[in-house]
């Protein structure tokens, strides 16, 4: 046996409130209903998607606009970049071209039609190494399904994007 101790529960701080996590240690509701400590405004960002997913892309933007307020983010409408197909070469060539001609892009969001590691890897390599810009890749199948599922996914994606832009979601008090 190993001797141990149970530490007291940490209070989680958000921008305007703080709370103690529930017994199951889940605090997803609080983080998606309250403003983050700091949120970065998304003023100029790109949404890249294949033409056959244009309706899903529009639904995604609408969901982002409805969800961003409660978590304290401002999300402007994206520059939409529609691709003729979902081949790796099409994504790479288009992203390279757009990022080469635009210097103020804060974030690139790509919708891919299915779970493809090769396409995901190519997009990430391009956005991390060749033309550095924060990026988020969403599998279209993750957004489809039950009506309420998209809202939940979008909340989590926006929180991730805020962090990638330098925002701070929550904090804890650390006494020194």
Compute the Cα dihedral for 36, 37, 41, 45 and give only its sign: negative
**Cβ 107 vs Cβ 79: under 8 Å:** no
For residue 108, being part of any structural domain is answered with yes
**Cβ 98 vs Cβ 46: under 8 Å:** yes
- Strands of the sheet containing 12-13, edge to edge, are 18-19, 12-13, 171-172
Residue 68 pLDDT exceeds 90: yes
pLDDT for 139 equals: 95
For residue 145, being part of any structural domain is answered with yes
- Strands of the sheet containing 79-83, edge to edge, are 79-83, 45-50, 107-112, 135-139
pLDDT for 58 equals: 96
pLDDT band at 85 (very low <50, low <70, confident <90, very high): very high
Kind and range of the H or E run holding 122: helix 117-125
Q: What is the pTM of this model?
A: 0.88
Give per-residue pLDDT as tens, 99-131.
Answer: 988 889 999 999 999 999 999 999 999 999 999
For residue 4, being part of any structural domain is answered with no
Q: Count structural domains, the chain.
A: 1
Between 88-101 and 117-125, two packed helices, what is the crossing angle to 10 degrees?
20
Cβ contacts of residue 123 below 8 Å, gap of 6+? 91, 92, 95, 110, 112, 135, 137
pLDDT for 147 equals: 66
Instruction: Name which residue leads in pLDDT, 103 or 57.
Output: 57
CATH number of the domain that residue 108 is part of: 3.40.50.2300
Identify each DSSP E strand in the chain by its residue range.
Answer: 12-13, 18-19, 45-50, 79-83, 107-112, 135-139, 171-172
For residue 120, being part of any structural domain is answered with yes
Question: What's the whole-number average pLDDT of the chain?
Answer: 92
Residue 146 pLDDT exceeds 90: no
| Domain range for 75 | 45-164
For residue 15, being part of any structural domain is answered with no
pLDDT band at 84 (very low <50, low <70, confident <90, very high): very high
Compute the Cα dihedral for 89, 90, 92, 98 and give only its sign: positive
For residue 29, being part of any structural domain is answered with no
Q: Which residue carries 């003729």 as its tokens?
A: 84
């Amino acid at each position: 046996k190993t001797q141990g101790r149970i530490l007291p529960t940490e209070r989680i701080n958000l921008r305007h409130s703080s709370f103690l996590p529930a017994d199951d240690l889940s605090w997803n509701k609080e983080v998606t209903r309250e403003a983050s400590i700091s949120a970065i405004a998304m003023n100029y960002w790109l949404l890249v998607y294949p033409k056959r997913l244009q309706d899903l892309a529009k639904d995604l933007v609408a969901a982002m606009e409805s969800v961003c307020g409660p978590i304290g983010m401002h999300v402007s409408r994206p520059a939409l970049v529609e691709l003729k197909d979902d081949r790796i070469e099409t994504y790479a060539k288009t992203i390279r071209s757009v990022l080469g001609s635009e210097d103020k892009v804060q974030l690139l969001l790509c919708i891919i039609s299915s779970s493809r590691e090769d396409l995901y890897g190519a997009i990430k390599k391009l956005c991390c190494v060749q033309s550095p810009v924060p990026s988020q890749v969403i599998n279209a199948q993750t957004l489809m399904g039950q009506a309420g599922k998209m809202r939940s996914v979008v909340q989590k994606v926006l929180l991730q994007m805020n962090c990638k832009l330098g925002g701070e979601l929550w904090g804890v008090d650390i006494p020194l």
